[in-house]
A and B are shown apart, each in its own frame.
Chain A
Amino acid sequence: MSDGAGTPDLQRPSSLTRIKESGYGGVFVACAAVTLLTTIAIFATLLSDALFFFSEVPITEFLSGTEWSPNPRGGGLSFGIVPLVIGTLTVTITAAFVALPIGTLTAIYLSEYATPRVRSILKPMLEILAGVPTVVYGYFALVYITPALQATLFPEMRTFNALSASLMIGIMTIPMVSSISEDAMSAVPDSLRQAGYGLGATKYEVSTGIVVPASLSGIASSYILAISRAIGETMIVVVAMGAQANMPEVRSALFGIPYIHPAEVLFDSGMTITVSMVQIAGGDLVGGTLPYDAMFALGLTLFVITLIMNVLSDIIAERYREAY
C-alpha cells in the first residue's frame, strides 16, 4: 500500500511485499495441511497400537472369539469381538427401525407436502435433534424412557437395556436421514412431477411412485450415513445400556436356521464396540498394556467400518445419481 500519496503507486511490489504474500499463503497451506495430518495421525495412532495388539492376540481370535473380558483384575483376559459386534448390531438395527422410516416420511413431507413457511420452521427445528449433546440423550434414556417403558409395555426390562438407548439413537439420527433425503427429493425436477400429474396420478402416487424412486440414491446414501453414525454413537449407549458383554443364546428355528431372540438382547444390558472402549479408558490408563492396545484395535475397527460406509455412501450418491 502506498503511504497515502496522491499519485498511484505503479512500482512493482517490493521484495518485502512478495515475501509477505507468500508467507501468508504458506500459513493458509499449513492450516489446510492440518486436516490432512489429522487423518494421517488418526491412522498412525490407531495402527501402531493395534499392530502391537495383533502381534499378541491373533486377528482370527479377535474376530471370532465369543468372549470379551479385557479387565486385568478379573483374571482371564480374552479378546473376542463377537459379543461387541452383536451389541452394536442390536443397537444399530433397532435405531434404524426408528430413524429410517421416520426420516424418510419426514423428507417426503418436507419436500412434497409442506408449505414453504412450515418447511422453514420445521427444518431448523429438526436439526435441533442432532444438536442435543449425546450424554443428555443417554440421561433421558436411562432416567425417563426406561422407567416409562417398564411401567407400560415391558415390565421385564432391566434398568440398563439396549432398547431405550436404541430409541434415543434413532431419534437423534432422524435429521441425518431427513435432511439428505430431502435434498435429493427437492433435486427431482418438477417436470417429472408434472408428467405424473398429467398422467392422472394423485399427489400420493407422485410422491411415492415418482419422487422417491427418482431420489433413491440420495435416500440410500442418507441411510448409510445415519447407520454409520449410529454405529459410532458412544455416550447414549454408555449411559443407558450398561456395560456387560453378553453372548446371547443362539437358538435354532425351523430348518435349523439359527436366530437370536430379540427380547434377550433388547431388554438386557449389553456392550457395543464404543462402550468397551470407554470402559477400558475409564479404568486406569497405562500405556503399553494389552487392554490399552485392545482399545486402539477396537478404534481401528470402528474407524475402518465408518470410513467404508462413508465412502460407500459417497459412491452411491455420485454414481447412481440421476443427472437431470
Chain B
Amino acid sequence: MAVDRERAGAGFGEVSRVKGVAFRYVSFGASIVGLVALATLLVYVFIDAFDLANTNPVWLLVYFLTLVVPFIGFCLYSAGDRALTRRTALVLGGGLVATAVAFEAIELLITPIPRLTWQLAYLFVVVAPVVSYVVFVGAQKPVGATGFGLLGRTLGGAVLGTAVAILFIVLDMRLWFLVFTLGVVPAGAARAYGRYRGSGRALGLSIPVGVLGAVAAVFLRDVLRTYPTPPFIFIWTFGAPIALAAGLFVLNRGGTRRSAAAVGGVSLAAAAVGTVTGSSALPEGSAVLVFAAAAAPLAIHLHGVLDAEKGRVGLVLPVILGGGVLLGAALVGAFGIPGPDPWLDPGYLTEAPSRTAVEAGLYPAIVGSVIIIALVAVLSFVLGVGAAVFLEEYTADTGVVGAIARIIQINIANLAAVPSVVYGLLGLGLFANLLGFGFGTAVTAALTLSLLILPITVISAQEAIRAVPDELRQGSYAMGATRWQTTKKVVLPEAMPGILTGTILALGRAIGETAPLIMIGAATTVFSAPSNVWSRFSAMPMQIYAWANFPQAEFRYGVVAAGVVTLLIVLLSMNTTAIIVRNKLERDS
C-alpha cells in the first residue's frame, strides 16, 4: 500500500485502509440508493395494482410451479449452460430460505412490514431478477431467440395494429378508403412499374399521382354516398397490403415463391378472421388490422425459423406459457383457491372513468394518449431530423451560416432545460389562444409536446448523423451525387437506427408529461373517447393526476396504482423497442 505521511525521521508512517474501504462502500451505497428506493416503490405499486397483498400464498405457489418454473426451465434449456442452471437453482432455492428467514426476523425483531409477505418479497427480490437474467441469457441463443422473437413480434404487431386502429376513432375511415384507393394504390403501382421496368419516368410520376389521387379523394368524400362496410375497408386498405408486404419481404430474403405466397396467405387469412370478431373498444372492423399486423410478423418469423433449421424447439414457448396458465387455472379452480382481484384487468383498459372505483377505467385516456403521441411522433420526427440535417450536413463552420448554426445549437441546448410548465404556457398563449386551436384539444397538446421534445430529438438525431463516417459522404460526392442525394441515400439510412432510437426515447418523455397538458387546459377526466382531433381529450398522466386527488383508499391504492403501472408498462415497452431497434439495425448494417 502507499504511504500516508512521512513522519520526520521515523521512516514510513502507517496507512489506514479503513477510510478508503469505508468511502468505497459509502459511494457504492450512494450510487444504488436511488435505484433501491425506486425499486421498492415500484414493488409496492405493482402489489397494489394487482391486489397481491391479499393473495392466497397457495395461489402464488400454484402459478409459480405451473408457469414460472417451466418458463425458467425453457430459458435455461436455451442457454444450455450447466453452470448457469446450477447457479439459478441455488439462487432460487437458497433465496427462498434466506428471504423467509430474513423477512420473519425483521418482522419479529424490528417492525412489521405493511402489505408485504415473505412470499411476495421472495417473488420480487429473488424470482423477478432471476427471471429477467435468464431471459436475457436465454434470448441470445437460437432456441430462446426463436421463442421470444415469436412472442415479441406477434405482441408488437398486435400492439402497433391496435394503436393504428385506435387512430381511426378520430380519423375518417371512408376518407382514408378513398385516399388509399385513388392515391396510394396508383402511386404504389407506378413505383412498382418503374422499379420493374427501370423506368425513371414512372418512378418520378408516383408522387404527383399519389397527391392528385389524395386531392381527388377529398373532393369525392362528400359527393359519394355509398361506401363498403368497415371490415371490407380494413381488409382492402390494411389486410391486403400487409399480406402483400409480408410476401414480398419473404421473397426479398430469398424465400421461394411458394413460401412467400404462404406467408401472405396466412396474413390475409388472419385479417379475414378479424372481420367476424371485434371489440367494443375499437372502431368497427378494425380487428382486421390488429390480426393482420400480428399475423404478418408471426408468419415471417415462422418462415425464417423453419428455413434456418436451428432453434425450432423455441416454438414451444407459447405452448409452455399457455399450458402453464391453463393448468394453473384448472388447479386453482379444482381446489377452490381464491385468487387476487386485480385492479388492472381488461375491463380497466376498455371502460370509461367512473365515480366508483370498481367501475373506473382508463379507456378514454389511453385513446387520448395514443392520438397525441401519433401526432407528436410525426411532427417531432420531421422537425427533429430536418433541423439535425441542417445543423450537421448543410452548414459551414465559418461565416454567416456558421454563426447562425452556432446560435441555433446554443439555443437548442437552452431549450432542453426550459421547465415543461413553461412550454405549457407557450401552448396556452400561442396555440390555444392566439392561433385558436382551442383549449385542451389534441392538436394543441400535440404541438406543445412536439416543441417540448424537439431539443431531445434534434440532439439525438445530430449524434446519429455525426456518427456516420465521413468516407461514405466523400464517396457519394465523388460519384457526382448532390448534397440532397447524399443525405437521402447515404447519410440518413446509415443514421436511421440512432435517429429512431432517439425519437422513441423522446416520445417516452412526451407520453409521461403532465404539466404542459394542465396548462393548455386538457381535461382531467373525460367519460368518452374523443371523436376528433379538435375535441377535448384526456391523457393517461392527466387521469392519474386527477385520480391521485381522490381521497378514497380504493382510488389511492387501487385505481391510480393500476394507471401508474399501465403508464410504466407503456414506457418500458417503448424503451425496450428503442433498444431492440438499435441493436437489430446496427447488427444488420
Chain A positions near chain B (C-beta within 8 angstroms): 1, 3-4, 8-9, 13, 17, 20-21, 24-25, 27-32, 34-36, 38-39, 41-42, 45-46, 48-49, 101-102, 105-106, 108-110, 113-114, 122, 125-126, 128-129, 131-136, 138-140, 142-145, 151, 171, 174-175, 178, 197, 200-204, 207-208, 225, 228-229, 231-235, 238-239, 274, 277-278, 281-282, 285, 287, 295-296, 299, 302-303, 306-307, 310-311, 314
B24 contact set on A, CB distance < 8 A: 109, 113, 203-204
Q: Give Cα A235–Cα B484 distance, bound, in whole angstroms.
A: 43
Q: Which single member of A13, A29, A128, A310 contacts B414 (CB below 8 Å)?
A: A310
B408 touches A203 (CB 8 A): no
Whether A143 contacts B30 by the Cβ 8 Å rule is no
B501 located at the interface, meaning its Cβ lies under 8 Å from any Cβ of chain A in the complex: no
User: B386 touching A27 by the CB < 8 A rule?
Assistant: yes
CB nearest neighbor in B for A106: B31
Residues 399-413 of B, flagged 1 when their CB comes within 8 A of A and 0 if not, give 000000101100111
Q: Which residue of B lies closest to A197 (CB)?
A: B2
CA distance A122 to B567 in the complex (A): 24
Cα A296 to Cα B3 with chains together (Å): 61
Q: Are B27 and A278 in contact (CB under 8 A)?
A: no
Q: Which residues of A contact B480 (CB under 8 A)?
A: 8-9
* Complex contacts, B30 vs chain A, CB 8 Å: 101-102, 105-106, 109
A70 to chain B, nearest CB (A): 15
Given A125-B35, A204-B19, answer yes or no on A234-B421 (Cβ-Cβ < 8 Å).
yes
> Does the CB pair A34–B383 fall under 8 Å?
yes
The minimal Cβ–Cβ distance linking B523 to chain A, given in whole angstroms, is 11
- Check if A122 sits within 8 Å of B31, measured CB to CB: yes
**Can you name the residue of chain A whose Cβ is closest to the Cβ of B452?**
A38
Q: By the criterion CB–CB under 8 Å, are A136 and B512 in contact?
A: yes
A203 touches B545 (CB 8 A): no
Q: Which of A21, A132, A287, A303 contacts B38 (CB 8 A)?
A: A132
Which of A13, A32, A144, A228 has the most chain B CB atoms inside 10 A of its CB?
A: A32
CB within 8 Å for A171 and B386 given contacts A42-B418, A299-B421: no
| Residues of B with C-beta under 8 A to A135 | 512, 514, 541, 544-545, 548
Given the complex of chains A and B, what is the CA–CA distance between A63 and B71 in angstroms?
63
Q: Which B363-400 residues sit within 8 Å CB-CB of chain A? A: 382-387, 389-391, 393-394
Pair A239/B545 contact, Cβ less than 8 Å: yes
Given contact pairs A126-B34, A131-B509, A287 touches B541 in the complex (Cβ within 8 A)? no
Task: List the 6 shortest-distance A-B pairs measured between CB atoms, nearest first.
Answer: A232-B419, A31-B386, A133-B512, A45-B429, A105-B30, A28-B390
The answer to whether B564 and A278 have CB atoms under 8 Å apart is no
Q: Is the CB of B420 within 8 A of A234?
A: yes
CA distance A197 to B3 in the complex (A): 9
Say yes or no: A143 contacts B557, CB within 8 Å: yes
The bracket for how many chain B residues form the interface is: 35 or more
- B31 and A105 within 8 A (CB): yes
**Closest B residue to A139 using CB positions:** B548
Chain A residue nearest in CB terms to B564: A136
Contact residues in A for B557 (Cβ distance below 8 Å) = 143
CA distance A300 to B415 in the complex (A): 14
Chain B nearest CB from A188 CB (Å) reads 16
Residue of B nearest to A152 (CB): B111
Are A34 and B454 in contact (CB-based, < 8 A)? yes
B454 touches A133 (CB 8 A): no
CB-CB under 8 A from B423, the residues of chain A are 42
Q: Does B200 contact A (CB under 8 A)?
A: yes
When C-beta atoms are compared, the residue in chain B nearest to A20 turns out to be B484
Minimal Cβ-Cβ distance residue in A for B41: A140
Pull 12 A–B residue pairs with CB atoms less than 8 Å apart, ordered by A: A21-B484, A34-B451, A35-B412, A46-B426, A49-B429, A102-B30, A129-B35, A131-B575, A133-B513, A134-B514, A228-B417, A274-B421
Q: Knowing A32-B390, A139-B548 touch, does A39 contact B567 (C-beta < 8 A)?
A: no
Distance in Å from the Cβ of A26 to the closest Cβ of chain B? Answer: 10
Contact A38 B482 (CB under 8 A): no
Which residues of chain B are within 8 angstroms of A200 by Cβ–Cβ distance? Answer: 2-4
Inter-chain contacts of B28 with A (CB < 8 A)? 109, 113
On whether the beta carbons of B439 and A285 are closer than 8 Å, the reply is yes
B426 / chain A contacts, CB cutoff of 8 Å? 38, 41-42, 45-46
B477 within 8 A of A: no
B483 within 8 A of A: yes
A38 to B431, CA, bound (A): 12
A32/B386 in contact, CB under 8 A: yes
Q: A residues within 8 A CB of B485?
A: 1
Instruction: Point out the residues of chain A lying under 8 angstroms from B23, CB to CB.
Output: 204, 207-208
Distance in angstroms from A274 CB to nearest chain B CB is 5
* Residue pair A35, B548 in contact (C-beta under 8 Å): no
Q: A167's closest neighbor in chain B, by CB?
A: B37
* A78–B81 alpha-carbon span in the complex (Å): 71
Whether B417 lies near A306 (C-beta < 8 A) is yes
Contact of B519 among A38, A48, A204, A278 (CB under 8 A): A278
Q: B455 in the interface, Cβ–Cβ < 8 Å?
A: yes
Task: Tell me the B26-49 residues at the A interface (CB within 8 Å).
Answer: 26-28, 30-35, 37-38, 41, 44-45
Tell me if B430 is interfacial: C-beta within 8 Å of chain A.
yes
User: Most chain-B CB neighbours within 10 Å: which of A25, A35, A197, A311?
Assistant: A35
Closest-by-CB residue of B relative to A43 is: B426
Docked Cα-Cα span, A310 to B451, in Å, equals 19
- Further contacts, 9 of them, CB under 8 A, given A31-B387, A204-B19: A32-B386, A34-B383, A36-B408, A46-B425, A109-B30, A132-B568, A132-B571, A140-B41, A281-B519
Q: Are B548 and A239 in contact (CB under 8 A)?
A: yes
Query: Shortest beta-carbon distance, A204 to chain B, in Å?
Result: 4
Min CB distance, A311 to chain B, in Å?
A: 8
> How far is it, in angstroms, between the C-alpha of A156 and the C-alpha of B386 when the chains are bound?
55
Given contacts A28-B390, A38-B415, A105-B31, whether A46 and B422 have CB atoms under 8 Å apart is yes
Contact A126:B4 (CB < 8 A) given known A29-B390, A142-B548: no
Q: How far is the CA of A229 from the CA of B420 in the complex (A)?
A: 10
Checking A17, A34, A113, A232 against B422 with a beta-carbon cut-off of 8 angstroms, the contacting residue is A232
Q: Which of A102, A132, A201, A208 contacts B2 (CB 8 A)?
A: A201
A295 to B433, CA, bound (A): 14
**Which residues of the other chain, B, contact A303 by a CB distance below 8 angstroms?**
418-419, 422
Asked whether any CB of chain A lies closer than 8 Å to the CB of B347, the reply is no
Pair A31/B408 contact, Cβ less than 8 Å: no
B433/A131 in contact, CB under 8 A: no
| Chain A residue with Cβ nearest B512 | A133
Do A134 and B512 touch (CB < 8 A)?
yes
Flag whether B556 is at the interface (Cβ < 8 A): yes
B35 to chain A: closest residue by CB: A125
Contacts of A1 in B (CB 8 A): 200, 485
Chain B residues, Cβ within 8 Å of A110: 31
Q: Which of B26, B201, B411, B413 contacts A105 (CB 8 A)?
A: B26
